[in-house]
Chain A
Amino acid sequence: GAGVSQSPSNKVTEKGKDVELRCDPISGHTALYWYRQSLGQGLEFLIYFQGNSAPDKSGLPSDRFSAERTGGSVSTLTIQRTQQEDSAVYLCASSLVHGNTEAFFGQGTRLTVV
């Protein structure tokens, strides 16, 4: 596609429910990142995928969070048993290679846990 696409754009869920957030990166981009942006905060790194290498999950805040990237393209971030503190905007980005090249961001999924 022309840009990084994320869905849904908004999600309201009840505390304790599971949610899945989807990211379609730019075609051909091998690196994919998930970040979380809480109100008034910077961007918190969550997880990184690069090609077929094992993902770096060091930023995931708890074992309720997981992510996968199927076929080196689409990625899904799953949050189990959501809590109110999970409310944030979840941003996905992709780049041609990792690190020192431009990362293109999607518009994010705004998650609200009530």
Chain B
Amino acid sequence: GEDVEQSLFLSVREGDSSVINCTYTDSSSTYLYWYKQEPGAGLQLLTYIFSNMDMKQDQRLTVLLNKKDKHLSLRIADTQTGDSAIYFCAETRQGTYKYIFGTGTRLKVLA
């Protein structure tokens, strides 16, 4: 199927780490992405990982990919109030061009 699933909400305190999880169903995924959507704005690419990698780090962001379990996570270190947004995971698959998006996780950072 085309399901990409995420939990809907996450609340963390400022300064803590946030971990946003995503599961997907198709084993032919080639790239997996994390997009951020701030209120009233379009989606902004945060980071992406190729499916033959298991980890990617970019400043405060760490992406972990467990291909066996089809599980992707985004860890945000030292979460700030400016990180409050909706985070979407997405995948592209071999032989296709569609980005398949998850339902999005709304992250709320408490001061």
Contact surface of A with B, Cβ cutoff 8 Å: 4, 31, 33, 35, 40-43, 45, 48, 50, 56, 59, 91, 93, 98-100, 102-108
Contact A105 B30 (CB under 8 A): no
CB of A1, distance to nearest CB on chain B (Å): 14
Size bracket, chain B contacts: 20 to 34
Q: How far is the CA of A31 from the CA of B44 in the complex (A)?
A: 17
Enumerate chain A residues within 8 angstroms of B44, measured Cβ to Cβ: 105
A9 to B35, CA, bound (A): 21
Complex partner residue of A91 from B43, B48, B90, CB under 8 angstroms: B43
Asked if B92 contacts A107 (CB within 8 A), the reply is no
Q: Which of A41, A59, A106 contacts B42 (CB 8 A)?
A: A106
Known: A42-B4, A99-B96, A102-B48. Contact between A107 and B30, CB under 8 A? no
Q: Which of B43, B48, B92, B103 contacts A41 (CB under 8 A)?
A: B103
Inter-chain contact B45/A99, CB cutoff 8 Å: no
**A43 x B88 contact (CB < 8 A):** yes
Question: B101 touching A35 by the CB < 8 A rule?
Answer: yes
Give CA–CA (A31, B48) in the complex, Å. 19
Can you list, as one digit per residue, whether each of B13-47 has a CB less than 8 Å from chain A (1) or not (0)? 00000000000000000110001000011111100
Q: Which 4 A-B pairs have the closest CB atoms?
A: A98-B97, A105-B42, A43-B101, A42-B103
Q: In the assembly, what is the distance between CA of A40 and CA of B8, in Å?
A: 8
Given contacts A42-B104, A91-B43, A105-B35, 15 further A-B contacts (CB under 8 A): A4-B42, A31-B97, A43-B88, A43-B99, A45-B100, A91-B42, A99-B96, A99-B97, A100-B30, A102-B45, A102-B48, A103-B45, A104-B45, A105-B44, A107-B42
- Residues of chain A with a CB closer than 8 A to B42's CB: 4, 91, 93, 105-108
Closest to B103 in A: A42
- With both beta carbons as reference points, the residue of chain B lying nearest to A33 in the complex is identified as B99
User: Chain B residue with minimal CB distance to A42?
Assistant: B103
